[in-house]
């Protein structure tokens, strides 16, 4: 028996033939909007992407770098026509709050002696899920970078303390007192970041910037007359480094006051040997 091919129904023919024209119409409409400077920032609230399949009956997510068509009337204004939706604004605020809690939790754990807390420990302390930690930070490096930024703000008052003294030597000892306050505050974060620094260009750059700044401050206080020998200057830079402070505090078990006194004595001994 020979089977005859059924002809498509009239409604199917109409729909099929209309799709190309509908797609062309949509693209022309989008092109018109683009000429009127519709900002790509609106793409998060748009209904159809210029590139990609036409999806009807539901809202689709549009990439930020793609233009889209909004069903609302065009006002002729650049930028997002109605501003950020309350739903998106709420998500953004919750994300920022979770990020802040994660960084604060990490700081607390590090200061308590947990040099390399796990993502689970951070999530538990912050009161968020483990997936939230990795969603907001691609890896733990992001948290350490944020921690260092917070620490820079926290130690800013210490770094701004004046170096009082009538002589270069007195100002140098004033610098030691200020350096001790700084090192004691940043040491926990520095130790924690140091574990990840060897495979993080960003952490390496941050560490180098801090060391370069501390070195420049020391040499500025020394001037031309105090410890003029380059070897003595390098030795003073090592004495007042965070590595020396870590050794005195952790490996030799010195209290902050005792460690500070040792820095003063080592400095005096080096200057007297000049």
Residue 99, pLDDT > 80, answer: yes
pLDDT score recorded for residue 139: 65
Lowest mean pLDDT among 11-25, 75-89, 177-191, 225-239: 11-25
Residue 70, pLDDT > 60, answer: no
More confident residue, 21 or 46: 21
CA–CA gap between residue 171 and residue 47 (Å, rounded): 66
CA–CA gap between residue 68 and residue 27 (Å, rounded): 9
Segments making up each domain of the chain, as ranges: 13-69, 91-137, 155-272
More confident residue, 254 or 137: 254
Residues paired with 48 in a beta bridge: 69
CA–CA gap between residue 256 and residue 261 (Å, rounded): 9
User: Does residue 48 sit in helix, strand or coil?
Assistant: strand
Residue 64, pLDDT > 70, answer: no
Q: Which two tokens stand for residue 208?
A: 């180098």
Residues in the chain: 274
Query: What is the overall mean pLDDT for the chain?
Result: 74
pLDDT score recorded for residue 179: 95
- Per residue in 188-211, pLDDT tens? 888 888 887 888 888 888 889 889
Beta-sheet strands, E only, within 36-87: 48-49, 68-69
pLDDT class for 67, splitting at 50, 70, 90?
A: very low
Q: Would the pTM count as exceeding 0.85?
A: no
pLDDT score recorded for residue 178: 94
Q: Across residues 102-108, what is the average pLDDT?
A: 87
More confident residue, 201 or 67: 201
Contact 126, 105 (CB under 8 A): yes
Signed CA dihedral, 26, 31, 35, 38: sign only? positive
Task: Count the neighbouring beta carbons within 10 Å of the beta carbon of residue 105.
Answer: 21
What residues contact 228, with CB distance under 8 A and at least 6 apart?
Answer: 274
Residue 36, pLDDT > 50, answer: no
From 246, 243, 238, select the one nearest 267 (Cα to Cα): 238
Q: Which two tokens stand for residue 87?
A: 């739903």
Contact 121, 141 (CB under 8 A): no
First to last CA, the chain: 114
More confident residue, 40 or 196: 196
Contact 130, 120 (CB under 8 A): yes
What class is the 91-137 domain?
A: mainly alpha
């Amino acid at each position: 028996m020979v089977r005859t091919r059924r002809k498509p129904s009239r409604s199917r023919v109409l729909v099929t033939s209309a799709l190309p024209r509908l797609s062309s119409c949509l693209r022309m409409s989008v092109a018109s909007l683009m000429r009127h400077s519709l900002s790509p920032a609106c793409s998060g609230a748009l209904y159809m992407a210029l590139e990609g399949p036409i999806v009807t009956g539901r809202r689709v997510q549009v990439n930020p770098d793609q233009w889209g068509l909004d069903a609302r009337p065009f006002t002729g204004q650049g930028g997002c026509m109605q501003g950020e939706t309350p739903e998106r604004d709420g998500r953004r605020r919750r994300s920022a709050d979770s990020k802040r809690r994660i960084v604060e939790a990490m700081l607390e754990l590090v200061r308590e002696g947990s040099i390399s807390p796990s993502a689970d420990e951070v999530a538990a302390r912050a009161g968020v899920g483990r997936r939230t930690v990795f969603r907001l930070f691609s890896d733990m490096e992001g948290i350490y970078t944020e921690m260092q930024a917070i620490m820079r703000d926290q130690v800013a008052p210490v770094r701004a303390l004046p170096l009082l003294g009538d002589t270069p030597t007195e100002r140098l000892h004033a610098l030691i007192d200020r350096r001790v306050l700084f090192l004691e505050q940043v040491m926990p974060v520095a130790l924690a970041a140091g574990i990840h620094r060897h495979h993080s260009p960003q952490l390496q750059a941050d560490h180098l910037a801090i060391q370069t700044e501390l070195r420049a401050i020391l040499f500025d206080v020394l001037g031309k007359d105090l410890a003029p020998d380059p070897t003595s200057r390098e030795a003073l830079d090592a004495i007042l480094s965070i590595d020396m402070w870590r050794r005195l505090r952790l490996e030799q078990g010195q209290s902050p006051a005792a460690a500070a006194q040792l820095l003063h004595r080592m400095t005096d001994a080096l200057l007297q040997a000049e």
